[in-house]
Amino acid sequence: MNFDLHGLKIAIIGGSDPCARILDMLTGPGLSKLDIRVVMVADTLVNSKGVVRARELGIPVETDYAEVCNRQDLDLILKLKNDEALTPMLETIDSCSMRVIDLDTYQAGSFINFLEIQEKILQIKDRLGDKKVTREDLAGLFDEFSDQVIQVADQRNLHLKNERETLLEMEKELTQIIQGSMIPTFIINNEHIITHWNRACEDLTGHRAYELVGTDRQWVPFRSAKRPTMADVVVSQMSEEDVKKYYGTSWRKSNIIKEAYEAEEFFPHLGENGKWIFFTAAPIKSPDGKIIGAIETLLDQTEDKKAKTEIDLQDRELAKLHEKYKASEEKYRSLFNNNPNPIFIIDRGTLEILDINHRVEGEYGYSKADLLGSSFLEIGEKDDKIIKKRFMELGRGEAALFTKKRHFKKSKQAFYVNIKVVNARYSHRDVLIASTTDITESIEKETQLIQAGKLATLGTMAAGMAHEINQPLNVIQICADLMLKMIKKGISIPEDELKGMAEDIIDNVARAAGVIKHVRDFSRQSERDLKKLDLNDPISDVFKVLGHQLTVHSIKVNLDLDSDLPPIRAEHNRLEQVFINLVTNAIDAMDEKEAKAKAGQGGDEPVEKKLTITTRSSGKEVIAVVSDTGVGMSEEVRQKIFEPFFTTKETGKGTGLGTSISFGIIKDYSGTIEIESEEGVGSNFTIKFPAIE
């Protein structure tokens, strides 16, 4: 910074602390010979230190920046305020007749150093004009001047050193945020060199970060020959005509971010059979608006394409990380806030929320002030001890994934998310970085599939329901017929007999109503509301509707249920569906074995048909075993038994969904299911759930 101050008319925008110091120097005796005139100070904050000092010095003060920018008699404007409203005003100023110097905090300090040096130069010039000055005096003056210059240089070096350390720390935090994102992401600089390639990107492409970071080979996972990625297009600022050469009609400009592009393409080189990828690239800019890099995010749309090719992709809300890419915290904050997923910075010890990105406010409806200082558990199931325990156990650099967790918006509306959390460093402390992905739509589809499975199960329950209802109806019919005959014959019914028949009718009406209520409750679509329950309860309820079918099929039932089981966390309705499916499959397997025996041996030798269900606890697990003496299954069938639509039953007798749905329900409750089976002997299904306190 070096220019002539003599005779300048100066205005200052921004009344920060440096403003007061600059005013004192420009109007003080040390620079009086330069005939500098401070014409005006402008700031919307009327009590800032610089504004107060200007009033004390008798310098005019304005709150409207336009009053400064519209003046034609100024030589220099010192801008000490970072206000976006100033940019269009300052652009109208004629730079030939008026100079504008934009000073941040550090540059303001440098300007003050410049003024101090000017004061010292004037002092030296005054002394040089004194004939009494000796050579020793001159040497002393120049030593003082040299010391001051050295001191300024030392201050600048220290500032640059501190700034470099801050940048390095911010770079570490930025890398951890990028790595913690579940969205495949890579970043290139303005020389098209890869600077970041996160773990999600490694998983999607099969190419590791160490292979690509530091190179310009970002095209390798996607193309067989070198070609610009969308991030390269952004950095090169290609014309639309050039973009069309590479991407044809598959690309478009982003409707949300200026200078950002998005596209969808099939990449045959990704994975075994190729992948459909929806990708977005946005520019990363320096504070002065210059593009210094680009960020590209990828979304694997392959499964959606296979399932519904006729529907346009609905989830285009990807990372639009387009804010100014500054060398320090602004760079980190831009990437953090524009991540497509809500991100929470959480204290590892207390689970207190320390910071959130903008996506949290958009999807949860809370403001930043609402959430800071509160527990992360407050936005979900407050008594979720599994999350609390696992969060606190995570070691440095470790990550964990929690699926199908219920969270609540500020409006109390519930929705479902997957949570990925990683232990990291943030602002010199150990924290957890948690990102959430909304999977409500997927859960709703899964619930509909489970409901469809229930309705299919009701068909197999029909015979049992008819028997369970017919029995009390027969008792009611007999009692009613007897009373009617005695009335017609004029026979007086003794009070005790009449009371007994009435009680029989009441008891059997209650029994029939209970069966109907149970079937209605079972068929109703249930919400995902996990509660403590005894595993024996849904098992026992199975026999309310299937007891008669077991009798009709001549199946012996052995129930060995531990009466002292610890509770588990699940839904009664859905667990009953699991055990109904296992029992009906066991009935079919034993009937098939009997049919094969009769076909092969003439039906003379009886086949043992026995269903056994046992429950027990072991350590921190609750275990149920369902065993049958049916036809059993081969190893090939056992490997495929949980696949959707796989069935060994005759056409029209099975959908192939029951076992698949049961597997999904058990998995939802953190359970496992294991199968032991031998052809011609039978099968054992062992189900385990974590016990809760």
pLDDT in tens, 469-512: 666 676 677 677 767 777 777 777 677 767 777 777 777 677 66
Residue by residue, DSSP assigns 595-609 as HHHHHHHTT-S----
Q: Residue 323: what pLDDT?
A: 41
Residue 446 vs residue 424, higher pLDDT? 424
Distances (CA, A) of 692 to 403, 451, 545, 665, 670: 19, 27, 29, 18, 12
Q: Residue 84: what pLDDT?
A: 72
Burial of 684 (0-12, 13-18, 19+ CB in 10 A): middle
**pLDDT tens digits for 86-110?**
877 887 776 667 888 888 877 888 8
Residue 83 vs residue 191, higher pLDDT? 191
Beta strands in 211-270 (DSSP E): 251-253, 261-267
Q: C-alpha angle with apex 612: 606 to 615, nearest 5 degrees?
A: 175
**Residue 352 per-residue DSSP state:** B
Closest-CA residue to 346 (of 323, 375, 369): 375
Q: In what order do the strands lie in the sheet with 9-13?
A: 61-62, 37-42, 9-13, 76-79, 99-102
Q: Tokens in use for 432?
A: 């957890």
Dihedral in degrees, nearest 10, Cα atoms 410, 411, 413, 418: -20
Angle between helices 440-488 and 658-668 (to 10 degrees): 110
Closest-CA residue to 673 (of 689, 657, 661, 658): 689
342-348: average pLDDT:
89
Secondary structure class of 436 (helix, strand, coil): strand
State the Cα–Cα distance between residues 418 and 403, nearest whole angstrom: 4
Considering the four listed CATH numbers 3.30.70.580, 3.30.450.20, 3.40.50.300, 3.40.630.30, the one that applies to the domain covering 341-438 is 3.30.450.20
For domain 9-133, give the CATH superfamily.
NAD(P)-binding Rossmann-like Domain (3.40.50.720)
State the Cα–Cα distance between residues 158 and 166, nearest whole angstrom: 12
Q: Residue 399: what pLDDT?
A: 83
CA atoms within 13 A on the CB side of 30: 15
**pLDDT tens digits for 580-600?**
888 888 888 898 888 888 777
State the Cα–Cα distance between residues 661 and 647, nearest whole angstrom: 13
Residue by residue, DSSP assigns 275-304 as EEEEEEEEEEE-TTS-EEEEEEEEEE-HHH
**pLDDT tens digits for 513-546?**
666 666 665 555 555 567 889 999 989 888 877 7
Q: Which residues contact 219 (CB under 8 A, 6 or more apart)?
A: 226, 227, 228, 229, 232
Pair 549, 587: CB distance under 8 Å:
yes
Rounded to a whole number of angstroms, the CA Rg of the chain reads 39
Beta strands in 105-259 (DSSP E): 185-189, 194-197, 251-253
**pLDDT tens digits for 457-467?**
555 555 556 55
172-333 shares its CATH topology with 341-438:
yes
Helix %, strand %, coil % for the chain, to 5?
A: 45, 20, 35
For domain 444-690, give the CATH superfamily.
Histidine kinase-like ATPase, C-terminal domain (3.30.565.10)
125-129: average pLDDT:
75
For residue 166, name the pLDDT band (cuts at 50, 70, 90). Answer: low
Task: Say how many residues make up the chain.
Answer: 693
189-206: average pLDDT:
90
Please give the helix or strand (H or E) that residue 100 lies within, else none. strand 99-102
Secondary structure class of 176 (helix, strand, coil): helix
State the Cα–Cα distance between residues 398 and 199, nearest whole angstrom: 13
- Domain edges within the chain: 9-133, 172-333, 341-438, 444-690
Q: Tokens in use for 524?
A: 């109703």
Q: Residue 307: what pLDDT?
A: 60
pLDDT of 239 above 60: yes
Q: Tokens in use for 459?
A: 């068909």
Secondary structure class of 381 (helix, strand, coil): coil
Q: Residue 612: what pLDDT?
A: 94
Closest-CA residue to 435 (of 177, 211, 216): 177
Give bridge partners of residue 290 from the DSSP assignment.
none
Pair 51, 61: CB distance under 8 Å:
yes
614-626: average pLDDT:
92
Pair 42, 10: CB distance under 8 Å:
no
Pair 229, 277: CB distance under 8 Å:
no
Q: Residue 40: what pLDDT?
A: 92
What's 172-333's CATH class?
alpha beta
State the Cα–Cα distance between residues 271 and 169, nearest whole angstrom: 36
Pair 587, 532: CB distance under 8 Å:
no
Q: Residue 321: what pLDDT?
A: 38
